[in-house]
Structure 1
Amino acid sequence: MTRTKAPLTIDPEVLGELLDGRWAAQRRRARALAADPATVPPDTGDLGELREATLSGVKALAASGSTRLALPESRGGRNDHAGYVAGFEETVVASPSLQVKAGVQFGLFGGAIQHLGNAEQHAQWLEPAQSGALLGCFAMTEIGHGSDVASLGTTAVYDPAAEEFVIRTPFPAAAKEYIGNAAAHGRAAIVFAQLVTAGVDHGVHAFFVPIRDESGRPLPGITIEDDGRKGGLLGVDNGRLSFDGVRIPRTHLLNRYGDVAADGTYSSPIDSPGRRFFTMLGTLVQGRVSLDGAAVVASKLGLDIAVRYGLQRRQFTGASDTDEVVLMDYQQHQRRLMPLIAETYANALAHEVLLESFQRVFSGEDDSDEARQVLETQAAGFKATTTWAALDILQECREACGGAGFMSENRLTGLRGDLDVYVTFEGDNTVLLQLVGKRLLQDYSAEFKNIDFGGVARFLGTQAAEHSLYRSGLANVGRTIGELLTPALNEKRIRSGKLQQVLLSSRVDAMVADLAGRLRPAAKMSQAAAAELFNEQQHELVNAARAYIELLKWEALNQAMHTFDDRPEHADEAKTLRRIRDLYGLTLIERNIGWHIMYGRLSMNRARQVGPTINRLCAKLAGNAGELVAAFGYGPEQRRATIAEGIEQQRQDEAREHYRQARARADYPVDEKVLYQQKRQQSRQESSAR
């Protein structure tokens, strides 16, 4: 009823090429592999069966050769770190359990050996790890310390007489917890522990520690416990590791950033312990990058299923007394799904920007401190906001599909359950956004460097004037930013990209400036008082970080929109991308409309135009909803959801026809509900038999 009457003519493959980006070939190969039954674990089974099936998928990935892409050319790889991650993310289509277990094996266990180890260690362990011959764990998280890695309790004390490290869990809270591959399959672990030599603690370092013998039994001094069933990811064997005086050779220290000589002398190419610690952790940023991309893939898959169902499912009569209305024709259905498609497009295109940064740093093209800081900030912020978005998107897709969406066979509940933990591993999202916020404040303070006193005074004067304008009632006397830029603000003007960028960026600027002003007194406070002041601003810090990441994603979408500027044959694709950009931008503005009004960015009159404009954009995009999700590149073999293939609608149509035929007879024996259930059960049995 409310979809546009003249949908654009767009080619899903053209949009798909844009979304798949530079590493499209790796993505498409991974999607094909995800359709292979060897990589798809069963939907049901006990923990042991699900874990073994997931392990088989990990071995199938290794056999495909894709796990070697990130290796250096000297090791038979291509030094293609982003290509490896891009393909690896798509394994979510087969199973999130497969993606996580493979990530532990090849990205974390193998990645730690590659990025923290030396050439000799590479020769000994890297090839077996990346081929799946040596199954391993990444033992960082402890019961008592999750995100606070620097305070881990596990110790590795060097014994110079034996030239060995002694690994110990000194108290129960130091046990390694939630460790993937630990409960059943891992034979070795990369253990993060406090390195102590000659009585001096040199901070957290990584050690290669065997944990099982060839028959699978725990080695002496190692206790392994099974975490059992979780809320999702049942194919991943998470467990707990404890160490009681476990001895390993000195050469098992992964010593790229810190080494111990035979006599116990410690050395490092990085003098500062703090900088050494963050440099070491920075080499492991791949986990956050891949989680960001995996969350995008799950969002695409959920929307693909929900939109296809919404284009088929009919409910209630509207414009006709006899014909029921397709769900996608209802405005509220458009409102619940179209903004999510726009957000997913933004997340996907922003992820391509992140992959570019990742490739530059890890290929050695630009391994500067500045490039690494940009990558770490992007990875932290994108992972946090995208994984949160994925949970919201999958839940909305589930609800948009009604009871059918709650059936396991249609995957939406399983995907959401599996992705739930993504928001807390590889860094709790709230903690990651605090990291982003701190970097924003650091960049803000850098503006004061190399400026004379007069310059600083002018800068602060400008800030004071700006805050006076936007915090006082004077701002509402017709001097808002939106009205200054667009005096006659109609629908087309409120969709102005320039206006959206100004509104989004000025919000970030004001929030960061406000934070900096509130935190400035901390420099003259005691440590305790400064910590309390910072704690009081924690909520505002997280909000500012989130606003900044949303701006980056909008900019990525805006930049991608211009891809077709010089390609007139793709005018409709260009128009579609502009609608997607505008919908994403205006949805962000609507989400924080109170802030924009309070700070004088939009007048009440202008703010009232945002909602109706979003409604019109949703209706226009709904006319091409099928093409927008087809651009994601998934087929029936990847979706594996009956409601997405018209089967559920076919069942309902057949049941209705049986009901009509029964009503036509004078002696029909059963009511509509029984007939419907009988026909639906028959269709299910026929589908299963096929």
Structure 2
Amino acid sequence: MVDTAQSTAPTTPAAPQSAPAAPAPTRPASGVPAPVGATPRVDVEGLGRQLLGDWAEARLASRELAKRPEVQKVEGLSVADHRKRVFEQLKLLVENGQVHRAFPKSVGGREDHGGNIAAFEELVAADPSLQIKSGVQWGLFGAAVMHLGTEPHHQKYLPGIMSLDVPGAFAMTETGHGSDVASIGTTATYDPDTQEFVIDTPFRGAWKDYLGNAAVDATAAVVFAQLITKGVNHGVHAFYVPIRDENGDFLPGIGGEDDGQKGGLNGIDNGRLHFTGVRIPRTDLLNRYGDVAEDGTYSSPIQSPGRRFFTMLGTLVQGRVSLDGSATIASKIGLKIALTYADQRRQFTAGSDTDEEVLLDYQRHQRRLLPLLATTYAASFAHEVFLHKFDDVFSGKADTDTDRQDLETMAAALKPLSTWHALETLQEAREACGGAGFLTENRITSLRQDLDIWVTFEGDNNVLLQLVAKRLLTDFSRKFAKADAGALARYVVTQAAGRAYHGSGMRSVAQTVRDFGSTARAVNWLQESATQRELLTDRVETMVSQIGGRLRSASKLGKKASADLFNSQQNELIEAARAHGELLQWEAFTEALEQAPDEGTRQVLTWLRDLFGFGLIEKHLAWYLMNGRLSPQRAQAVSAYIDRLLLRIRPHAVDLVDAFGYGPELVRAKIASGAEAERQAEARAYYAERRAAGTLPEPEKSTKKR
């Protein structure tokens, strides 16, 4: 982008109207171009429609449901009362029909995978505990039966799961093994004499742990265990296991504990389960990817144990998809609160003898919140791309092995970024709102507590990024499998044209890397989309190629030496994967600019995209300097231009959060309700009236000047 707009000084807008759940046209009508040379304006309604994405109907219907007081979180409840309330709320979801979208039509579902996730994500605005407990019931327990089972399992078990007649748990994680599912200790040993599997947890570390629904409500569970038959361990498989009777008591051989109060999400009854000689029928093995005949013979359509394991886990990727989207929604709500408040709250008479300044007019406040707003937009647009990829795979539109691998890589790249970003955003929003942000009534602290666990469930973020890095390295090694050292060195130095790991979702950039160290170019060079793409893409590729070069000898080493070598690069690998995820977000933001409703909105979004891109470059400035990609002069230009962008975006900040479409029933924060604007207006009117009447006392400083 060539920046032709004039730098705009910050203004102090009037108190904004509360936005409804679906963005309303409270500002310029769609399609009205801004006059040449004028400050662009945001079409809030049009931008709101764009942000809703292709599953707008499902999102809006879910928001309407989330507006109902009976599904919203009540702060201050005891753990027991919160759990009871959330379980009753699940019944409302069943009545509403929202939770059945993804299930097969043969059992009353709609097979709408994208719409199901979109609707589910929006429930975070009601109560994160409700969202996650419903995710446990239908997105994990039910989805495991659907994706890992076959038609007999669907007909037998899904109707009860869908109706909530059978509340269930998803028993994968163990006390001793979380992210390393392949190493879980629970076993399912086949007994051909009785045609049963015998489920055991042989030691304390093999207890199933942190399981939603397990402490109180679940009457059945999908249990992941090592499948053993004829003395051979065929790896982790899933089994349908009843765990409680109609009175809520554990069945013989099953025991458990309540995890008790947690740091958040206390509407969910997380607990532990253990099994001693628990027998289930052979047919309760969820056998889509592996089966055992009556005589104990094992068979699978996937011969490779490793590929079979990752294929099974890949069918459950929807949890990471939904966390990416709902974490971004939480960021939107936090920023809606903080930026609305910052646009109304006044503090210090810096530029006036009488009127205090609006917080959002201070540069530091802009630096704290507006880059987070830019990242939230990037995450939102990236999630829409992600959701389409998910829907294509699970609907069968694009369901090759490569498509599934790309989806899993995208999930492992984006879920960490959006969940970390949500915690950072909510913490900064809390601090930016001062003491008001610390009050439970203003929602931010509660949201942050509930979302804290999201960075470690459905895969610890650092472990997920390591999976992304391994994929990047695999693509790199395939490209250079037969290259000699000279070819590899030339690649590292020149970063050849057409460089991209297509299998990992990167866009190919048909350009060679420019002389980033030159000081002859103007700052406009940094504003070009192609330049930002080069800088962001080059960082990923250089990091991967450098790590790949260091690891090339690993295949020739012994197991211990190879592991030590890989471990020595682990931090760099995770940083490369994170850079890859950031590039995916930037690409999605850039593509979304083409769908902006009008030129004024596109200009503001372009500034916001540039703020995101420049923010990434500034964050990693040391890397760009050390690797000769930027000169010191251009490094200084990065931060200087960010400051200019903040001034340009500031007048549009409220419009940009209003476009998110979360009105007062969904935000539910008093400081974002207009109450602060009323307080400030009252105070200003009070002092103005006393000044006009001449009844204000004279300041001490004035008397000393006489």
TM score, norm. by length of structure 1: 0.90
2:177 equivalent among 103, 128, 145: 145
1:598 and 2:626 are equivalent in the alignment: yes
Report the equivalent of 2:651. 623
Cα distance in 2 for partners of 1:46, 1:315 equals: 38
Cα distance in 2 for partners of 1:36, 1:333 equals: 34
The 8 Å contact of residues 169 and 222 in structure 2, kept in 1 or not, is answered as yes
Q: Counterparts in 2 of 1:524-535, with a 5 A limit?
A: 524-535=556-567
State the shift of 1:658 in Å. Answer: 8.0
Report the equivalent of 2:216. 184
The 8 Å contact of residues 2 and 329 in structure 1, kept in 2 or not, is answered as no
Superposed CA deviations along residues 577-604 of structure 1, whole A, max 9, x for unmatched, are 1111100000000000111011111100
Counterpart code for 2:616: L
Report the equivalent of 1:646. 674
2:130 equivalent among 98, 101, 111: 98
Q: Counterparts in 2 of 1:153-302, with a 5 A limit?
A: 153-302=185-334
1:88 and 2:95 are equivalent in the alignment: no
The 8 Å contact of residues 492 and 545 in structure 2, kept in 1 or not, is answered as no
Report the equivalent of 1:683. none
The 8 Å contact of residues 145 and 153 in structure 2, kept in 1 or not, is answered as yes
The 8 Å contact of residues 427 and 448 in structure 2, kept in 1 or not, is answered as yes
Superposed CA deviations along residues 47-79 of structure 1, whole A, max 9, x for unmatched, are 111001111222212221121111223333232
Cα distance in 2 for partners of 1:447, 1:42 equals: 55
Cα distance in 2 for partners of 1:656, 1:227 equals: 52
SS in 2 for 1:203: strand
The 8 Å contact of residues 345 and 680 in structure 2, kept in 1 or not, is answered as no
Bigger relative contact order (CA 8 A; separation at least 6): 2
Cα distance in 1 for partners of 2:156, 2:599 equals: 55
Report the equivalent of 1:612. 640
Superposed CA deviations along residues 196-216 of structure 1, whole A, max 9, x for unmatched, are 111111111001111111111
Report the equivalent of 1:3. 10
Report the equivalent of 1:471. none
Cα distance in 2 for partners of 1:481, 1:126 equals: 60
State the shift of 1:15 in Å. Answer: 1.2
State the shift of 1:655 in Å. Answer: 7.2
Cα distance in 1 for partners of 2:219, 2:675 equals: 45
SS in 2 for 1:208: strand
State the shift of 1:657 in Å. Answer: 7.4
Q: Which deviates further from its counterpart, 14-23 or 570-579?
A: 14-23
Counterpart code for 1:105: Q
State the shift of 1:176 in Å. Answer: 0.5
1:40 and 2:47 are equivalent in the alignment: no
Report the equivalent of 1:575. 603
Cα distance in 1 for partners of 2:112, 2:77 equals: 37
Counterpart code for 1:606: R
Cα distance in 2 for partners of 1:394, 1:575 equals: 27
SS in 2 for 1:42: coil
Cα distance in 2 for partners of 1:459, 1:69 equals: 52
SS in 2 for 1:281: helix
Counterpart code for 1:239: G
- Cα distance 1:521–1:53, how it changes in 2: closer, same or farther (>3 A)? same
Superposed CA deviations along residues 280-320 of structure 1, whole A, max 9, x for unmatched, are 00001011111111100100010011111011111111221
Superposed CA deviations along residues 151-183 of structure 1, whole A, max 9, x for unmatched, are 100011111111111111100000011000111
State the shift of 1:129 in Å. Answer: 1.1
1:587 and 2:594 are equivalent in the alignment: no
Report the equivalent of 1:19. 51
1:131 equivalent among 163, 169, 184: 163
Cα distance in 2 for partners of 1:25, 1:459 equals: 53
2:516 equivalent among 461, 466, 482: 482
The 8 Å contact of residues 41 and 604 in structure 2, kept in 1 or not, is answered as no
State the shift of 1:448 in Å. Answer: 2.8
Same amino acid, percent of matched pairs: 55
RMSD: 2.3
Report the equivalent of 1:416. 448
Cα distance in 1 for partners of 2:488, 2:552 equals: 13
Report the equivalent of 1:379. 411
- Cα distance 1:18–1:481, how it changes in 2: closer, same or farther (>3 A)? farther
State the shift of 1:375 in Å. Answer: 0.2
Of Structure 1 and Structure 2, which has the larger fraction of its residues in helix?
A: 1
1:66 and 2:98 are equivalent in the alignment: yes
Cα distance in 2 for partners of 1:181, 1:195 equals: 24
Counterpart code for 1:642: K
Q: Counterparts in 2 of 1:458-497, with a 5 A limit?
A: 459-463=487-491, 465-466=493-494, 481-482=515-516, 487-490=520-523, 492-497=524-529
Cα distance in 1 for partners of 2:406, 2:670 equals: 43
Counterpart code for 1:440: L
SS in 1 for 2:209: strand
Q: Which consecutive residues of structure 1, in runs of 5 or more, have no partner in the other structure? A: 469-478, 669-690
The 8 Å contact of residues 398 and 412 in structure 1, kept in 2 or not, is answered as yes
Counterpart code for 2:243: I
Report the equivalent of 1:367. 399
Cα distance in 2 for partners of 1:617, 1:298 equals: 25
Cα distance in 1 for partners of 2:50, 2:562 equals: 47
State the shift of 1:650 in Å. Answer: 3.3
Q: Counterparts in 2 of 1:334-349, with a 5 A limit?
A: 334-349=366-381
Aligned length: 648
